């Protein structure tokens, strides 16, 4: 195993010691579960008209390829339309209407979550969690009243938004996170000073 590589399983998030560099799953079972739930969204999100496309630079686009805005609902579309569109490289969801997101950047230490990220994940069970485009962050989606966003940079990289932003969807569910939304628990960061 001289050429073995350390990676995280795309389904369960567990560490893998692999000879094949292109392997994505620790077991065939994880691969099967991953393919079954990839791209499934909670009903509240999937049935809304809050989707955009996005470019390689993460600029929001309309389904037709023009500039979109996370504050102009006329530039949004349904999930079906966004998935069929050819503009840009992926589908994004515009936060609001009671759906928010805790965005964690640089939250992995190798194959494991950093303790601060694990604390936030543990505080928010039973809600949709995706691995971000970078592969080194998480998006914790949940129910959150619309309000001012937060940015925390105290050694942790945390952002919380509930309106006026969009999130690039990856379909790469973290671990066994369900396709459901629960109220977001911000208690672990409630008394932390905002960087804004």
25: confidence class by pLDDT, cuts 50, 70, 90: confident
- List, for residues 110-161, the tens digit of each pLDDT value: 889 999 999 999 999 999 999 999 999 999 999 999 999 999 999 999 999 9
Structure tokens at 62: 């309309």
Average pLDDT in the 158-173 region?
96
**Residue 142, strand partner residues:** 100
Point out the least confidently predicted range of 2-16, 39-53, 144-158.
Answer: 2-16
Q: Are strands 60-61 and 51-54 parallel, antiparallel or unpaired?
A: antiparallel
pLDDT at residue 35, rounded to an integer = 59
Phi, psi angles (nearest 5°) of residue 115: -55, -40
pLDDT at residue 174, rounded to an integer = 94
Q: What is the pTM of this model?
A: 0.81
**Beta strands, E only, the chain:** 5-8, 15-18, 51-54, 60-61, 90-94, 99-105, 108-109, 112-113, 129-131, 138-143, 150-153, 157-161, 166-168
């Amino acid at each position: 195993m001289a050429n073995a590589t350390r990676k995280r399983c795309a389904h369960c998030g567990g560490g893998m010691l692999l000879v094949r560099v292109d392997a994505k799953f620790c077991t065939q079972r994880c691969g099967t579960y991953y393919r079954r739930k990839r791209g499934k969204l909670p009903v509240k999100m999937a049935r809304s008209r809050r989707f955009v496309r996005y470019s390689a630079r993460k600029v929001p686009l309309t389904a037709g390829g023009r500039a979109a805005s996370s504050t102009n609902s006329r530039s949004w579309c349904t999930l079906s339309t966004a998935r069929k569109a050819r503009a840009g490289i992926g589908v994004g969801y515009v936060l609001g209407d009671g759906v928010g997101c805790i965005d964690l950047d640089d939250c992995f230490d190798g194959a494991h979550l950093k303790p601060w990220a694990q604390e936030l994940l543990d505080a928010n069970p039973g809600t949709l969690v995706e691995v971000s485009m970078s592969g080194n962050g998480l998006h914790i989606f949940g129910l959150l009243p619309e309000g001012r966003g937060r940015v925390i940079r105290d050694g942790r990289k945390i952002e919380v938004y509930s309106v006026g932003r969009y999130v690039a969807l990856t379909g790469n569910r973290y671990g066994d996170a369900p396709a459901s939304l629960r109220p977001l628990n911000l208690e672990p960061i409630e008394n932390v000073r905002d960087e804004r």
